Amino acid sequence: MKVHDKMKVVHSICPQCSVGCGINLINIDNRLVGTYPYKRHPINEGKNCKKGRDCIELVFEENRPKNPLVNKNGTFSDYSWEEALDLFVSKIKSYTPQDIGIIGSGNSTNEDLEILSKFADALGVEKKGFYAENFPAFNIETATLDDVQSSNFILIVGDVIKESPLIGRRIILARENGAEVVSADSADKTFTGLNSDKYIKIRSIGEFLDNIGPEVHNKLKDSATIIFNKLDLKEEFEKIQNIAEDSGSKILPVLKQCNTRGAMRFLPALNQEEISRLINDVKFLYVVGDNPALYAEESFKNLDFLVTQSSSINETVLLSDLVFPASCWVEKTGTFTNTTGDMQKISKTISAPAEVLEDQRIISKIAEKIGIELGDKK
Amino acid sequence: MSPEYLLARAKNEELQDKGECGGAVSSIFKYLLDNEIVEGVLTLTRGIDIYDGIPSLIEDSEDIIETCGSLHCAPTMFGDLISKYLKDMKLAVAVKPCDAMAIKELEKRNQLDRDKLYEIGLNCGGTVMPITARKMIDLFYEVDPDDVVKEEIDKGKFIIELKDGTEKAVEIDELEEKGYGRRGSCQRCDLMIPRNADVACGNWGAEPGWTFIEINTEKGKDLVDAARNEGYLDIKTPSEKSLTIREKIENVMIKLAQKFQDKYLEEIYPSSEDWNKYWDRCIKCYACRDVCPVCYCKECALDKEFYVDSEQIPPDPLTFQGVRLSHMSFSCINCGQCQDVCPMEIPLALIYQRMQKKYKDKTGFIAGVNEELPPLYSPEKD
């Protein structure tokens, strides 16, 4: 059916965090001008947080690379794709796999990550991964949002209601149904604490987990969920898992990015220290969809050659020798796996600028030029 | 003008068959597009399933067939889509009473040009939130919501039709007693026939296969006459019995709505302690403000530095909700969108509708219906 270019309302998935809310986008002549509640979506029923409703601001018109760019002494010049790919290939071929690093992102689609991971394998690159804060990769069953809402007891670590309001909503609804909510964090008070029955100020997550008293532990036996959105150390994930197993409660780790959980299937989940070490240990770094200069800039100084593939001009792009212009989430089709493990489809809603390509296509072009096989895309 | 009543149906057999109640509304849209009287029709089309109504702008009359049939699980709002994105376009829009109310308030504030609009009103007994509908179909009908091909609201029942042609019905009273059924604002809404639109169309009192139309404006009268003269509509006069049945249905619905108003706005209205708890949840996301179809200022008082004491949440309820309430409550049309989109489940519509109702009871001013502006905007305010 033909719908007027003057206004189309289309379904999408919000890319701002790991909850996976539905959001309708208003498209007028290939530009996103606003959002509209997507009430049919089972996760959020038309409710979105401010950040979610602002998601269209992630589609940059100006502040994005629109052509491949090459940095010569601090000045970027436009290159053709042919020239840029040739440069990439000649550079990468001059390093051994041990000197090459590849960093992906929890903001990329599963399909883009799968092909990136195959690319790394084909090259024999082992220094690869994506930034997952202190969360380790996991492949266990976690609580659904309906589980949260029907819990009798909820233990929260972190300011989850404030930082993930559409999980917060399920906690609020559980509480309206009579659930008891206990939250813990390091601040004197938190928004989540204000909306809990009890707030515990803790010194560290590890210490708190080691000293959960019988009072809380007994409540965890009764249709309970443990929700946490931060860890100080990767090992704490297992501690929480053990507490949940002992008590029969469910757990819901709230990850950072819209596809952090999906990315765990394709690339090692690294924390800040591990990513910094990776960058330090390589000469050639290929960054796809992330901005590691934000959290690991110190480690960049040993690099010979930095290639960044991005849909916006960010700190890492500015440090790069070569930049590939990539499409953003509304300019491509694929899937995101949200923090509860649901895989959701996103569809191409607007066209990217002419020379901007999807991550998958860029990686395939590189592979083709190098002469490596990535195998059939699943 | 004095009301005029008639029964209408599409002359086009496909529209007559596929459209609701003989397809009169679809046929009016087709007439308007075919004759280039409007550039577009703003109405709902079905998205992924029957629980997914998507506002769509149709510009080709061939596509009108896609818009046939009613969708009750689509609590949408058209007013601000028009004022924000389509106000330069000559448009026909299918309006529920609350859509027409929003358009009326926007018109008073010069946010849209009413002369460019044909408002085709649809009688409305209320809408159901899509996910609520799916849950209640699973629970009360013991049916997989994906097996439902059609739903309708008739004679106090929510009726579903399954793939195999069978129908199942449950009393809306029963659903609503258990917290399902229509949205809260719809339960408390006492404007079912959109007399604030050019025409009001529906099945109440109509013979099977016909749409009952109440003509509300000269523009509406001319439109229906022209659509008949151009061969788009069959028209006949409704019987006395038709009129009586329609009036009776409307009165029953209004009484029910008043009962719900008494219950939710007075008897079990949240206490001030309850409100304090609700305000503690506010994440200051501005979703309530941004979705409000009447609220339109480009420079909002809530963004002004002197009101914003800090970025801390929850905000001070007096300088956040209080300011919004003082600006908007007299103009509240009870569309319930603010509450629908609140991530923190604050029952905002209750407080707004209650304020508007008190003002209405005292002064007779009904937001979205009366021609004048509410007091904050009125030149007559003291």
- Residues of chain A with Cβ-Cβ distance to B48 below 8 Å are 11, 40
* 3-state SS, residue B154: strand
A337, A339, A341, A347 alpha-carbon torsion, rounded to 10°: -20
DSSP annotation of A357 reads: B
Q: Cβ(B71)–Cβ(B110) under 8 Å?
A: no
Say which amino acid occupies B288: C
Which CATH architecture fits A69-132+260-328+352-370? Answer: 3-Layer(aba) Sandwich (3.40)
**What is the per-residue pLDDT for B319?**
85
Residue closest to A264 by CA, chosen among A155, A106, A377: A106
The alpha-carbon gap from A179 to the nearest alpha carbon of chain B, in Å, equals: 15
User: Closest to B341 (Cβ–Cβ): which among A7, A46, A176?
Assistant: A46
The alpha-carbon gap from A51 to the nearest alpha carbon of chain B, in Å, equals: 8
B281 pLDDT exceeds 90? yes
**What is the per-residue pLDDT for B300?**
82
Helix pair angle (A110-123, A359-370), 10° resolution:
20
**What is the per-residue pLDDT for B20?**
86
Q: Which DSSP string corresponds to B287-352?
A: HHHHH-SS---SS-GGGSTTT---S-SSPPTTTTHHHHHHHHGGG-----HHHHH-TT---HHHHH
Nearest CA in chain B to A49: B285
Handedness of CA B117, B123, B125, B131 (dihedral sign): negative
**What is the per-residue pLDDT for B380?**
52
Phi, psi of B133 (to 5 degrees): -60, -45
3-state secondary structure B55-115: EEEECCHHHHHHHCCCCCCCCCCCHHHHHHHCCCCCEEEEECHHHHHHHHHHHHCCCCCHH
CB contact under 8 A, B81 and A2: no
CA A102 → CA A116, A117, A268, A358, distances in Å? 9, 9, 11, 17
CB contact under 8 A, B131 and A49: no
Q: Model pTM? A: 0.95
B305 pLDDT exceeds 80? no
Percentage of chain B modeled with pLDDT above 90: 83
Nearest CA in chain B to A8: B56
Element (H, E) at A172: helix A165-176
B382 pLDDT exceeds 90? no
Q: What is the separation of C-alpha A98 from the centre of its chain, rounded to a whole number of angstroms? A: 26
Paired strand residues for B8: B211, B235
CB contact under 8 A, A47 and B340: yes
CB contact under 8 A, B57 and A45: no
Residue closest to A82 by CA, chosen among A374, A300, A311, A362: A362
Confidence of residue B312 (pLDDT cuts 50, 70, 90): confident
Q: Cβ(B7)–Cβ(B235) under 8 Å?
A: yes
Average confidence score pLDDT of chain B: 93
Stretches where chain A sits below pLDDT 70 are: 1-4, 376-378
Query: Could you give the CA distance from residue B94 to residue B58 in angstroms, rounded to a whole number?
Result: 12
Confidence of residue B381 (pLDDT cuts 50, 70, 90): very low
Q: Cβ(B292)–Cβ(B337) under 8 Å?
A: yes
CB contact under 8 A, B130 and A166: no
Q: State pLDDT tens for residues B111-143.
A: 999 999 999 999 999 999 999 999 999 999 999
* 3-state SS, residue A308: strand
Largest CA distance in chain B: 64
Handedness of CA B368, B371, B375, B378 (dihedral sign): positive
Mean pLDDT lowest among A197-201, B284-288, B298-302? B298-302
All residues at 6 or more sequence positions from A242 whose CB lies less than 8 Å from its CB, including other chains: none
In the numeric block, which tokens belong to residue A368?
């083709």
Query: Could you give the CA distance from residue A251 to residue A167 in angstroms, rounded to a whole number?
Result: 13
Residue closest to A311 by CA, chosen among A284, A331, A335, A296: A331
Query: Could you give the CA distance from residue A109 to residue A338 in angstroms, rounded to a whole number?
Result: 11
CB contact under 8 A, A1 and B66: yes
* 3-state SS, residue A230: coil
A154, A159, A164, A169 alpha-carbon torsion, rounded to 10°: 40
CA B223 → CA A245, A369, B170, B219, B267, distances in Å? 69, 65, 38, 6, 45
- Residues of chain A with Cβ-Cβ distance to B87 below 8 Å are none
R_g of chain B, CA atoms, integer Å: 21
Q: Where are the beta strands (DSSP E) in A111-247?
A: 127-131, 153-157, 180-185, 198-201, 224-228
Nearest CA in chain B to A47: B341
**What is the per-residue pLDDT for B306?**
67
**What is the per-residue pLDDT for B90?**
97
Confidence of residue B153 (pLDDT cuts 50, 70, 90): confident
> If you count DSSP H runs as helices and E runs as strands, how many of each does chain A have, helices first?
15, 18
The alpha-carbon gap from A240 to the nearest alpha carbon of chain B, in Å, equals: 27
List domains and CATH numbers for chain B: 4-127+184-260 (3.40.640), 142-181 (no CATH), 269-363 (no CATH)
Q: Where are the beta strands (DSSP E) in A238-361?
A: 250-253, 269-270, 284-288, 305-310, 322-325, 334-337, 343-346
In the numeric block, which tokens belong to residue A52?
């979610």
- Residues of chain A with Cβ-Cβ distance to B45 below 8 Å are 1
Q: Cβ(B55)–Cβ(A36) under 8 Å?
A: yes
The whole-number average pLDDT for the span B169-198 is 96
Nearest CA in chain B to A166: B343
Q: Cβ(A367)–Cβ(A374) under 8 Å?
A: yes
- The residues spanned by each domain of chain A are 8-58, 69-132+260-328+352-370, 145-253
**Residue A315 burial (C-beta neighbours within 10 Å; 0-12, 13-18, 19+):** middle
CB contact under 8 A, A37 and B314: no
**Residue A100 burial (C-beta neighbours within 10 Å; 0-12, 13-18, 19+):** buried
CB contact under 8 A, A9 and B56: yes
Cβ contacts below 8 Å, chain A against chain B, sum to: 118
Q: Which DSSP string corresponds to B4-22?
A: EEEEEEESSHHHHHHSGGG
Query: Hey, which CATH number is domain A145-253, 1.20.1560.10, 3.40.228.10, 3.90.1150.10, 3.40.630.30?
Result: 3.40.228.10
Q: Cβ(A113)–Cβ(A267) under 8 Å?
A: yes
CB contact under 8 A, B285 and A53: yes
Q: State pLDDT tens for residues B227-246.
A: 999 999 999 999 999 999 99
CB contact under 8 A, A4 and B314: no
ipTM of the complex: 0.95
Per-residue burial over B97-132, b = 16 or more CB atoms within 10 Å of its CB, e = otherwise: bbbbbbbbbbbbeebbeeeebbbbbbbbbbbbbbbb
Which CATH topology does A8-58 take? N-terminal domain of TfIIb (2.20.25)
- Residues of chain A with Cβ-Cβ distance to B287 below 8 Å are 47-50, 53
CB contact under 8 A, B343 and A47: yes
Query: Could you give the CA distance from residue B372 to residue B97 in angstroms, rounded to a whole number?
Result: 18
* 3-state SS, residue A297: helix
**Cα end-to-end span (Å), chain A:** 30
Cis peptide bond upstream of A325, omega within 30: no
> If you count DSSP H runs as helices and E runs as strands, how many of each does chain B have, helices first?
14, 11
